[in-house]
Amino acid sequence: MLITNIRRWYFLVFACIAIVVYGAQQLSFPLYHPINNYLNDLLCMPIVLKLCQYAVRSIKRDEHLNIPVKLSVTVTILYAIYFEVLLPKFNDRYTADFIDVILYFIGLVFFIWMENITQPQHKNEPDKNSTSP
């Protein structure tokens, strides 16, 4: 039950938190250093990958389709290269920070875990794989 609720709501909660942090940064509101510098990096990959999963599910019209783990890892690596290697060379707003890369991968692990765990079945529920009535 708890896992189902977390799975159902984490995207919306993470997106709202990220928007609030970004808004506070744009308004120059003082934030606690780890929140200001690292929280959105932690939330980034679950948000991005969930959006990708939603898009693929909509296109394929399959609500149970999951993004393969290899593709999720590839997207995370590309994000890390783009935001932590390439952009800092061309835009002063971005800084290369290895901690951000670690946070991207922690977010990836959370996404993979959340989207691939199965809910334990209750004793009174019939087995969905069973062919008996």
What is the pLDDT, as a whole number, of residue 1?
74
Type of residue numbered 80: A
Kindly state whether residue 6 falls inside one of the protein's structural domains. Answer: yes
Kindly state whether residue 93 falls inside one of the protein's structural domains. Answer: yes
H/E element, 59: helix 40-60
How many domains does one find in the chain?
Answer: 1
Residues of the chain under the 70 pLDDT cut: 118-133
Q: Tens digit of pLDDT for each residue in 36-46?
A: 999 999 999 99
Q: Take residue 67 and report the two structure tokens written for it.
A: 């993004």
Taking a C-beta distance cutoff of 8 angstroms, is the pair 86, 65 a contact? no
What is the pLDDT, as a whole number, of residue 53?
96
Q: What is the spatial distance between Cα 29 and Cα 112, in angstroms, rounded to a whole number?
A: 33
Kindly state whether residue 126 falls inside one of the protein's structural domains. Answer: no
Kindly state whether residue 122 falls inside one of the protein's structural domains. Answer: no
What is the pLDDT, as a whole number, of residue 124?
54
Q: What is the spatial distance between Cα 14 and Cα 120, in angstroms, rounded to a whole number?
A: 25
Read off the pTM. 0.83
**Domain with 38 in it:** 2-116
Taking a C-beta distance cutoff of 8 angstroms, is the pair 104, 44 a contact? yes
Kindly state whether residue 68 falls inside one of the protein's structural domains. Answer: yes
H/E element, 63: none
What is the pLDDT, as a whole number, of residue 6?
85
